[in-house]
A and B are shown apart, each in its own frame.
Chain A
Amino acid sequence: MSVSDLAIPLLLCFVGAYGAARRVDVYAALTKGAEEGLGVLLRVLPSLVALLTAVYMFRASGAMDCLAALLAPLLAALGIPPETAPLLLIRPISGTGALAVGSELMERCGADSYVGRVAAVMLGSSETTFYTAAVYCGAAGVTRTRHTIPAALFADGVMFVLSAFAVRMVFGT
Chain B
Amino acid sequence: MAMTWLWTGMVSLSLLFGAATGNLGALGGAALDGARSAVELCVTMAGVMCLWTGVMEVMERSGLSGLLARAFRPLLRRLMPRASRDPETLAAVSANLSANMLGLGNAATPLGIRAARLMARGGNGTASDDLCLFVVLNTASIQLFPTTVAGVRAALGAAEPFDILPAVWLASGVAVAAGAGMARLLARVWRERP
Which residue numbers of A lie inside 8 Å of B, CB to CB?
Answer: 4-5, 7-8, 11-12, 15-16, 18-19, 22, 24-26, 29-38, 40-41, 44-45, 47-63, 66, 90, 93-94, 97, 99-100, 102-104, 106-107, 110-112, 116-117, 120-129, 132-133, 135-137, 139-148, 150-152, 154-156, 158-159, 162-163, 165-167, 169-171
Neighbour of A147 across the interface among B106, B112, B187, CB < 8 A: B187
Mask, B162-193, CB within 8 Å of A = 1, is 11101110111011101100110011011010
Q: Please indicate the chain B residues that have their CB under 8 angstroms from the CB of A55 in the complex.
A: 10, 34
Q: If the complex has contacts A141-B125, A163-B167, are A60 and B131 also in contact, measured as CB distance less than 8 A? A: no
**Is B167 within 8 A of A146, CB to CB?**
no
**Is A107 within 8 A of B132, CB to CB?**
no
**Is A56 within 8 A of B175, CB to CB?**
no
Secondary structure of the A side of the interface? helix
Tally A-B pairs: CB < 8 A.
Answer: 351
The 4 A-B pairs of least Cβ separation, nearest first, read A33-B57, A155-B179, A124-B146, A56-B34
Q: Whole-angstrom distance from the CB of A32 to the nearest CB of chain B?
A: 6
Q: Whole-angstrom distance from the CB of B108 to the nearest CB of chain A?
A: 10
Neighbour of A124 across the interface among B26, B30, B149, B158, CB < 8 A: B149
**Is A41 within 8 A of B167, CB to CB?**
no
Q: Please indicate the chain B residues that have their CB under 8 angstroms from the CB of A144 in the complex.
A: 125-127
In chain B, residues 11-33, which have Cβ atoms closer than 8 Å to a Cβ of chain A?
A: 11, 13-18, 20-21, 23-24, 26-27, 29-33
Q: If the complex has contacts A24-B61, A132-B138, A139-B116, are A12 and B17 also in contact, measured as CB distance less than 8 A? A: no
- Could you show 15 A-B contacts with beta carbons less than 8 Å apart? A29-B54, A33-B53, A34-B54, A37-B49, A38-B46, A45-B39, A54-B34, A63-B13, A123-B149, A125-B141, A126-B140, A126-B141, A132-B139, A135-B113, A140-B127
Q: Please indicate the chain B residues that have their CB under 8 angstroms from the CB of A62 in the complex.
A: 17-18, 20-21, 23
Q: Please indicate the chain B residues that have their CB under 8 angstroms from the CB of A53 in the complex.
A: 31-32, 34-35, 38
Q: Please indicate the chain B residues that have their CB under 8 angstroms from the CB of A106 in the complex.
A: 152-153, 156
Q: Can you name the residue of chain B whose Cβ is closest to the Cβ of A25?
A: B61
**Is A170 within 8 A of B167, CB to CB?**
yes
**Is B182 within 8 A of A154, CB to CB?**
yes
Q: Please indicate the chain B residues that have their CB under 8 angstroms from the CB of A31 in the complex.
A: 54
Q: Whole-angstrom distance from the CB of B16 to the nearest CB of chain A?
A: 8
Complex Cα–Cα for A59 and B175 (A):
30
**Is A123 within 8 A of B146, CB to CB?**
yes
Chain B interface extent, by class: 35 or more
Q: Whole-angstrom distance from the CB of B52 to the nearest CB of chain A?
A: 7
Complex Cα–Cα for A29 and B16 (A):
51
Q: If the complex has contacts A58-B10, A126-B175, are A12 and B53 also in contact, measured as CB distance less than 8 A? A: no
In the complex, which of the residues A62, A66, A104 has the most CB atoms of chain B within 10 Å of its own CB atom?
A: A62
Q: If the complex has contacts A49-B38, A139-B116, are A61 and B186 also in contact, measured as CB distance less than 8 A? A: no
Complex Cα–Cα for A32 and B39 (A):
23
Q: Please indicate the chain A residues that have their CB under 8 angstroms from the CB of B75 in the complex.
A: none
Mask, B109-137, CB within 8 Å of A = 1, is 10011001101100101110001101110
